[in-house]
Every structure is written in structure tokens, then in C-alpha cells.
Structure 1
């Protein structure tokens, strides 16, 4: 198969590969066999950067025999903006959803009671609880979030 790609499209692909690589590698051991096929594909595309006129954005480490994004690429930071937005939004989303789930479980009396609820009703109630947290976090961020000590 042959895919025609413009120089501008290849540049966008570099950003996509950087974001994908960050997500895949962030919390895994680099020797994890699950990431090897992805790493190999990223390497294949990074090896083409010079031919598309983006040799300054990628560097080759002869000792490791691997391509990496260069400091020039990292200074541009296009991928970083996407990653930072994702991390920020994921944090608030996960925090609200997990707190809402906790509150719902307390409200209904535990996991067994929750399983007895109509799924639509449980989802509606969990969404209502999450919406309260979203509103609070939008107003105050983490300023009013505290651990309550129980003894």
C-alpha cells in the first residue's frame, strides 16, 4: 500500500506521533512488549522526517539505534499543548466522576444496592452528583477540597 502525504500533513503526523508516544510510554516500562509494535511504527515514521524536510525536528541516537524528537521539536511545543489540555481535563473529569460514584454508593447503601437500581436512574443520579462537583471545581478549583479526619 502506498499513501501520499503532503509536507504539511507529515508535520501534523509528527505531532500526532509525539502525543501517541507520550500516552503509550508515560506509565509503562520501555521494555514492555505491549508497546513494542507502536514504538516500531513511530520509529518508521520518524526515520522519514529528513526526507520531508523536518530533519531538525528529529535526531538519531547511534548508540541506541533509535530516533527521538529533537530539542528543536520540544521547544516548539505543539504536542505539549495537546497533552497538557488532555491531562488537565482528565484530572477534573476523573475527580468529579470518582467522587460522584463514591457519593452515590454512600447514598444508596453500597455496591449491591446500586446494582439493584435501574441503570438509567443510577446513571442520572451519578451525573447529577458529578455536575455538582464540576460546578464546585469550576468555581473554586481545589481550594475547598479537604480530607476529613475520622476517629
Structure 2
């Protein structure tokens, strides 16, 4: 199969495979190595072809790792980096809200009852709590978040 891309389409493809490989690299589940390696191999192939097709100004080769990568200068201003940063930011806040709401629910109903609930049942019972946390974090970020250590931990 042969595909033809304009320069703009090739730029987009380079960013897409780099974004996908970056996200895949965070997968540490047992058995994910093959999938991560496949993403990295495709990224390498696309970056190498793009470099030879005239995109070399923003693609570098790491001699030590024997891999192509986007240059840090290019990444800093790239759409894919913007997407990746936004994704990480949204996941952080969503996970924080859900985990805090789950903690509050578990404290209110007890851990045995909490573990019997499905994810959907938990979300239904924590909607108001989650909304309160979203409002807090939207207004104050983590400014008012504090960790209280048990007395035994100083």
C-alpha cells in the first residue's frame, strides 16, 4: 500500500503517531509491552520517512537509543504537545475529583458497602460531592488542598 501526503498532512501524521506513542508509553499493565512496542515502531517508521521527505528540521536522531524523535523546540510549540498537556491536566482533575468523592462516600457508608457498589452506582451517589469538588478546584485549584498526616507520622 502506498499513501501520498501533503506536507501539512505529513506534519499532522507525525504529530499523531508521536502523541499515540507518548500516551502508550505510560501503559505499564502486564502484557502491554507488545502494544507499546508496536506504537513505538510505527512512530519510528513514520518519523524516519518524514525526515527523509524533507521534515528533518524538527526530527532528530538519538544515537544512543537509535531512534528518531521530535526535537524539544518543535514539541514545545506543537499541537500534539498542547493536546497531550491538556489530556494530562483533565485526567488529573477528573481522577482527583473522583477519588476524593469515592473516599468521602466510603467514609459515609463504610468500606464494605462501598465495595459492593458498581462504578455506576458510586458515580450516581457521588454526583453532588463531585460537583462540590469541581467547583472548589475550578475556583481555587489545589491552593486549599492540604494533607493531614496522622499523629504517628509526625
Aligned twin of 2:125: 125
Task: Tell me by how many angstroms 1:85 deviates.
Answer: 1.2
Q: Contact 1:96–1:130 (CA<8 Å) still a contact in 2?
A: yes
Question: Aligned to 1:49, what secondary structure does the other structure show?
Answer: helix
Aligned twin of 2:104: 103
Q: 1:96 to 1:119 in 2, by over 3 A?
A: closer
- Partner Cα distance (2:150, 2:110) in 1: 19
- The 5-angstrom pairing of residues 25-40 of structure 1 reads 25-26=25-26, 33-34=33-34, 35-40=36-41
- Partner Cα distance (1:122, 1:100) in 2: 9
Task: Tell me by how many angstroms 1:118 deviates.
Answer: 8.0
Superposition TM-score, scaled by structure 1 size: 0.79
Structure 2 unaligned blocks of 5 or more: none
Aligned twin of 2:7: 7
Superposition TM-score, scaled by structure 2 size: 0.78
Q: Contact 1:56–1:72 (CA<8 Å) still a contact in 2?
A: no
- Partner Cα distance (2:129, 2:18) in 1: 36
Task: Tell me by how many angstroms 1:5 deviates.
Answer: 2.8
Aligned twin of 2:143: 143
Counting matched residue pairs gives: 147
Task: Tell me by how many angstroms 1:63 deviates.
Answer: 5.5
Report the aligned-residue RMSD. Answer: 2.7
